Amino acid sequence: VIGNIVKSFIILSFSLLINLGSMAHGETSVEKEYAVKAAFIYNIAKFVEWPKESMNKSETLNVCVWGDNPFGSSLKALEGKDVQGKKFVIKNAKTVEDINHCQIVFVGKSEQKNLSKILTILNGRSVLTVGDTEDFAHRGGIVNFYLENEMIRFEINLDAVKRAGLNISSKLLKLARIVTVKNP
Amino acid sequence: MTSFSFSHVFDFRECLSRWFLKAFFVLTVLLMTIFSRPTDLIGKESSVSEELANLSIEELMTVKITSVAKKAQSLNDAAAAVFAITQEDIRRSGVTSIPEALRMVPGLQVARIDANKWAISARGFNGRFANKLLVLIDGRSVYTPLYSGVYWDVQDTLLEDIDRIEVIRGPGAALWGANAVNGVINIITKHAKDTQGGFLTAGGGTEERGFGSVRYGAKHDENTFWRVYIKYFDRDNAETLSGEEGHDGWDMVRSGFRVDWDKPSLDSFTFQGDIYQGEIKGSDTARSLTAPYATTVNAVNDVNGFNFLGKWTHITSDSSDVRLQFFYDRAKRQSSILSSKYDTLDIDFQHHFSFERHEIIWGLGYRFIHDSVGNTFTTNLSPDSRDDDLLSAFVQDEIAVVKDLLNITVGSKFEHNDYTGIEIQPGVRAICTPENDHVFWAAISRAVRTPSRVEHDGKIVSRVVPGPIAVQLEGNRDYESEELISYEAGYRVLPVEGFSFDIAAFSHIYDNLRTLETGATYLATNPSPHFVSPRAVQNKMDGEAYGFELVANWRPFDGLLLQGAYTYFQMQLHLDQDSLDTTSEGTEGDSPHNQVSLRSNLDLRKDLELDLWLRYVDSLASQAVGSYVALDARLGWKLCENVELSIVGHNLLDNRHPEFQPEILEQSLVELERSIYGKITWKF
């Protein structure tokens, strides 16, 4: 009898789950987190100055997502918006060739294991690297998101900014936690 | 004020009519939700993204990303078996009392003896007078020195004002001191800032015959918030084995307040208090030296009490703060067997600071307890009034041995009590976090359970046989503390977002456990000549307990939470060779070997919740209590923003079942019936 009850309880829970999963409204916390991060990337781009040679070449401001795209459609939804007179364009990057035309590269959690390799490849390029893994900025990334009291904050590695030849507005720096790396 | 409440009555009517309109379209809406989803979501998503993108960076930095997993993660810092019952858990389980909420905690044994009595313990030694569990409400110890246990019937507050209940299984003695042997329960109520506005709830049903509560909270100035509440309930009798109405119904009225004053970033003050009065039906069995030697009367016993608590926290620097807390508690119980009155005054100081790799907490405490009891032939304490002092000090150092990887905590409590003198209760705990989402911990600790007033000074006649011979439990001035050495380890993991898993295993080694030793029969003259066959309280038993506890939480999507908990428990007790005890070994059979709890909290729609809770509890080997499966269900309907209706069914799978044997011999098993109640909640 107990077995049957437990079984039917489990079946009930799961069938409800399957049937109603499609009915769930609203966004999960993860979806919301990345929707906010997408908005951050768009806004941060307004405060960054790229070297003329890397910028003049393209009509668009290209944001490349390396590896798995954690944003769902929330980053794509911002495509076509205006940033510094250029169109915001979202691309996926899987190989080194893919990032040749990117001004911003987002390296997500899926790439944590390859992070050192990716950052070495990007080192010296005029690319704003953005990540959301704990030691992203410490390991040479430029902008890193972190959570504090359930709110998104970001940190900036100034050495990495310099190496990339970028200029970041003091307005943005004031809002960021500054990361300094003793032994880069 | 009048116009204020009037407008809300109007809101309520408007809300009702809106609901009727809604009712016609329920099916349509349901179908629409399913079929229109794809386009709907894409449209919504892009507009949300657009909205967010239009915010400034400063504004984006204030957007809250609420994540249940992250909140639970803060518990991951503890090198102990910790479980937290949240306000949401309480609301959605449909429980009407704190003891009932505790059933969802793995490693706890919760059994309802009758309508107004519970047996609650952690990791064994369960019973109404279970004495190895420490319970605190907002830092106020509610454990009674009379029998070193908790009167659960008077531990209550407005359930909606509870922020969370933190339960630690295993010894917490290094921090909390004696009697935190097998577990600590911390009931934490909300800050007054979080209970602003009005709140009204009312309902009734078959066992919950009627209940209601009102709370009102407001802001005095920028930094000062307060609330007051009053609640009442009337609960029905349980049923006897023969299917007759028992005599254990009860009602209680309780009122309380809380004021919080937070001086920005430096000081915070809390002042709170409660007062209660209840009438509890019970069967009192009085012993006498003449036939029939025992008379059981149906009595209505008064319980009442009040308490005040003040707390001051001062932040002295970035890495240091001090806390000063005092409380006063009065608890009075009247009964034809034993009346008691307890006054407790407690002052507690704590200082927390950190330097380099160390995080140190130390503290001092003083507690004064005055009691007086009304003696009868059946139950007698000598002296009948006592003043006791309890002095305590503790120090704990959490050392970051390898930063972000390995933390070791060493600490000890030092106490002086009037029964056994100095008690030292040290502990060492280690926590290892190889990755953010993986935590391993282990602990070794010592804890003691100090003698209760009854074990020290009491004489309780458990039965009288023709002679007349009184079989009498006798307190012992040389009775020592019971001791525990505990070995624990656990692992917590969040393998993927929305899923968490927690396992804790333990081995507890007990020594000096209480036995009741049969002594030589002697002649007593008071109140008339009779023989006494004494059962003297001594420490002639040792034993071991082991087991493990599992919890898994899964949130497949935002509207569904599944929680499963499993408890495995074993205990073996061994009498010393020279022990003449015949009953105490049976304690090992008072706790079930296996327990399962499965909960499902589902949002059918934004305004409709369906919550199911299935429990399996194994049989009790030493009692005539078989295993049982119980199902609770709750359907909650948010009529509009401020009004919620719910229907809750408890114990739906059987007409009635027993859960625990009463500890007074003459009292027979009572069965808990299937019950249902309805409730309306209105926020204004």
pLDDT band at A148 (very low <50, low <70, confident <90, very high): confident
Does the pLDDT value for residue B447 go beyond 90?
A: yes
Please indicate whether, in this complex, the C-beta atoms of B603 and A24 are within 8 angstroms of each other: yes
pLDDT band at B593 (very low <50, low <70, confident <90, very high): very high
Please indicate whether, in this complex, the C-beta atoms of A73 and B49 are within 8 angstroms of each other: yes
Please indicate whether, in this complex, the C-beta atoms of B45 and A73 are within 8 angstroms of each other: yes
pLDDT of residue A10: 56
Most B CBs within 10 Å: which of A7, A11, A15, A32, as the mutation test of the B interface?
Answer: A32
Unique residue bearing structure tokens 């003043």: B387
Residues of A in contact with B600 (CB under 8 A): 9, 13, 16
- End-to-end Cα separation, chain A, in angstroms: 65
Q: Which long-range contacts (CB under 8 A, 24 or more apart) does B228-232 make?
A: B228/B255, B228/B256, B228/B257, B229/B157, B229/B158, B229/B161, B229/B255, B229/B256, B229/B257, B230/B254, B230/B255, B231/B156, B231/B158, B231/B255
- Distance between CA atoms of residues B118 and B660, nearest Å: 8
B354: nearest Cα among B379, B327, B377, B320: B320
Residues of A in contact with B557 (CB under 8 A): 21, 24, 28
How many of the other CB atoms lie within 10 Å of CB of B496? 10
Residue B325's beta-bridge partner residues?
B311, B348
* DSSP calls for B91-106: HHHT--SHHHHGGGST
- Distance between CA atoms of residues B23 and B534, nearest Å: 70
Please indicate whether, in this complex, the C-beta atoms of B612 and A28 are within 8 angstroms of each other: no
3-state secondary structure of A71: coil
Does the pLDDT value for residue B177 go beyond 90?
A: no
Share of chain B above pLDDT 90, in %: 67
Please indicate whether, in this complex, the C-beta atoms of A151 and B497 are within 8 angstroms of each other: no
Share of chain A above pLDDT 90, in %: 22
Asked whether the beta carbons of A31 and B67 are under 8 A apart, the reply is no
Q: Cα distance from A136 to chain B (closest Cα, Å)?
A: 15
Please indicate whether, in this complex, the C-beta atoms of A153 and B61 are within 8 angstroms of each other: yes
Nearest residue in B to A39, CA atom:
B53
Residues of A in contact with B70 (CB under 8 A): 147, 150
Q: Crossing angle, helix B37-53 and helix B26-35, to 10 degrees?
A: 70
- Distance between CA atoms of residues A123 and B52, nearest Å: 31
- Distance between CA atoms of residues B535 and A112, nearest Å: 67
pLDDT of residue B73: 36
Q: Spell out a b/e string for A140-156, using b for 16 or more CB atoms within 10 Å of the CB, else e.
A: bbbbbbeeeeeebbbbb
Q: Indicate the average pLDDT of chain B.
A: 87
pLDDT band at B158 (very low <50, low <70, confident <90, very high): very high
Residue B400's beta-bridge partner residues?
B407
3-state secondary structure of A181: coil
Minimum-distance CB partner of A43 among B60, B558, B631: B60
The total number of residues shown for chain B amounts to: 684
The pLDDT tens digits of the residues spanning A14-31 come to 444 444 433 333 345 677
Minimum-distance CB partner of B614 among A9, A73, A153: A9
Q: What ipTM was assigned to the predicted interfaces of this complex?
A: 0.80
Most A CBs within 10 Å: which of B44, B51, B60, as the mutation test of the A interface?
Answer: B60
pLDDT of residue A95: 78
Asked whether the beta carbons of A139 and A155 are under 8 A apart, the reply is no
Please indicate whether, in this complex, the C-beta atoms of B557 and A72 are within 8 angstroms of each other: no
Pairing of β B385-402 and β B406-417: antiparallel
pLDDT of residue B495: 81
- Distance between CA atoms of residues B439 and B417, nearest Å: 37
Nearest residue in B to A135, CA atom:
B436
Residues of A in contact with B631 (CB under 8 A): 5, 9
Strand ranges in B206-266 using DSSP code E only, listed in sequence order: 208-221, 224-235, 239-240, 250-263
Average pLDDT of B187-203?
92
Does the pLDDT value for residue B35 go beyond 70?
A: no
Q: Spell out a b/e string for B218-256, using b for 16 or more CB atoms within 10 Å of the CB, else e.
A: eeeeeebbbbbbebbbbbbbbbbeeeeebbbbbbbebbb
Please indicate whether, in this complex, the C-beta atoms of A150 and B70 are within 8 angstroms of each other: yes
Nearest residue in A to B628, CA atom:
A2
- Distance between CA atoms of residues B131 and B679, nearest Å: 35
Q: Indicate the average pLDDT of chain A.
A: 80
Pairing of β A86-93 and β A60-66: parallel
Residues of A in contact with B630 (CB under 8 A): none
Residues of A in contact with B48 (CB under 8 A): 27, 35, 74
Most B CBs within 10 Å: which of A14, A43, A152, as the mutation test of the B interface?
Answer: A43
* CA triple B599-B22-B677, angle to 5 deg: 40
pLDDT of residue A6: 61
pLDDT band at B6 (very low <50, low <70, confident <90, very high): very low
Q: How far is CA B162 from the centre of its chain?
A: 11
Please indicate whether, in this complex, the C-beta atoms of A24 and B52 are within 8 angstroms of each other: no
Please indicate whether, in this complex, the C-beta atoms of A20 and B602 are within 8 angstroms of each other: yes
pLDDT band at B10 (very low <50, low <70, confident <90, very high): very low
Count interface pairs A-B at CB distance under 8 A.
Answer: 142
Q: Cα distance from B47 to chain A (closest Cα, Å)?
A: 8
pLDDT of residue B253: 97
Residues of B in contact with A32 (CB under 8 A): 65
Does the pLDDT value for residue A11 go beyond 60?
A: no
Does the pLDDT value for residue B34 go beyond 80?
A: no
Share of chain B above pLDDT 70, in %: 90
Pairing of β B224-235 and β A128-131: unpaired
pLDDT band at A5 (very low <50, low <70, confident <90, very high): low
Q: Cα distance from A58 to chain B (closest Cα, Å)?
A: 23
Minimum-distance CB partner of B558 among A10, A24, A175: A24
Minimum-distance CB partner of B614 among A6, A42, A150: A6
The pLDDT tens digits of the residues spanning B646-678 come to 999 999 999 999 999 887 655 778 899 999 999
Say which residues have a Cβ less than 8 Å from residue B132's Cβ, sequence separation at least 6. B121, B122, B125, B179, B181, B182, B183, B449, B482, B484
pLDDT band at B112 (very low <50, low <70, confident <90, very high): very high
Q: Spell out a b/e string for B327-355, using b for 16 or more CB atoms within 10 Å of the CB, else e.
A: bbbebbbbbbbbbbbbbbebebebbbbbe
Average pLDDT of B634-639?
94
Nearest residue in A to B62, CA atom:
A151
pLDDT of residue B608: 93
pLDDT of residue A1: 54
* Better-scored residue on pLDDT, B267 or B545: B545
pLDDT of residue A9: 55
Nearest residue in A to B51, CA atom:
A39
Question: And the tokens for B177?
Answer: 């001191």
pLDDT of residue B176: 81
Nearest residue in A to B564, CA atom:
A10
pLDDT of residue B60: 85
Highest mean pLDDT among A151-155, B80-84, B109-113: B109-113
Please give the C-alpha separations between residue B421 and each of B365, B493, B536, B651, in angstroms, as whole numbers: 16, 42, 21, 46
Q: Which DSSP letter does residue A78 get?
A: G
- Distance between CA atoms of residues B651 and B656, nearest Å: 8
Does the pLDDT value for residue B36 go beyond 60?
A: no
Most B CBs within 10 Å: which of A1, A14, A28, as the mutation test of the B interface?
Answer: A28
The pLDDT tens digits of the residues spanning B48-96 come to 777 788 888 888 887 766 533 333 334 456 888 989 898 999 999 999 9
Q: Cα distance from A172 to chain B (closest Cα, Å)?
A: 8
Q: Spell out a b/e string for B13-26, using b for 16 or more CB atoms within 10 Å of the CB, else e.
A: eeeeeebeeeeeee
pTM exceeds 0.80 for this model: no
User: Which stretches within B400-486 are classed as H helix?
Assistant: 453-457
Does the pLDDT value for residue B40 go beyond 60?
A: no
pLDDT of residue B665: 57
Pairing of β B628-640 and β B608-617: antiparallel
pLDDT band at B39 (very low <50, low <70, confident <90, very high): very low
3-state secondary structure of B431: strand
pLDDT of residue B405: 87
- Distance between CA atoms of residues B628 and B674, nearest Å: 13
Q: Cα distance from A42 to chain B (closest Cα, Å)?
A: 7
Q: Cα distance from A155 to chain B (closest Cα, Å)?
A: 12
